[in-house]
Amino acid sequence: MHVTVDLGSEPPGVTLVEPGDCTRFDVIVQGRGDAEDLHRVLTGASVGRTDGDEVLVTAAAVRRLASGSVGDRWEADFSAMLDYARGRGWLTDDGDAIRAHVEWR
């Protein structure tokens, strides 16, 4: 799945693309802008925040963005993804947010 941030739209938007794919996770930024713009959009949409060159996306935001577009099995798949991320050190200590690579397009 990809958290897609569109800095070029007015207002800037945040969507979850391919929410059923719990085997990958990243943030894709489209449009012109910088890390400050990305941080502002993520926090404004209650999705997460920048952390250096990466982004911390809250698990609650992923659930909210996926709601209505995934099947019954999704929560189990997402929980397995969180467990995998925890084992790799990609979750915050409190388990609230997932560390994600950012791809600027």
pLDDT reported for residue 53: 95
pLDDT reported for residue 3: 98
pLDDT reported for residue 98: 98
Mode of pairing for the β-strands spanning 97-104 and 54-58? antiparallel
Question: What is the spatial distance between Cα 97 and Cα 41, in angstroms, rounded to a whole number?
Answer: 16
Q: How confident is the model at residue 84 (pLDDT cuts 50, 70, 90)?
A: very high
Give the residue extent of every domain in the chain.
2-104
**Of all helices (H) and strands (E), which one includes residue 86?**
helix 74-88
pLDDT reported for residue 15: 98
pLDDT reported for residue 103: 98
Comparing CA positions, the residue from 74, 82, 85, 76 lying closest to residue 20 is 74
pLDDT reported for residue 73: 97
| pLDDT tens per residue, range 30-83 | 999 999 999 999 999 999 999 999 999 999 999 999 999 999 999 999 999 999
* Range list of β-strands (E), 46-105: 48-51, 54-58, 97-104
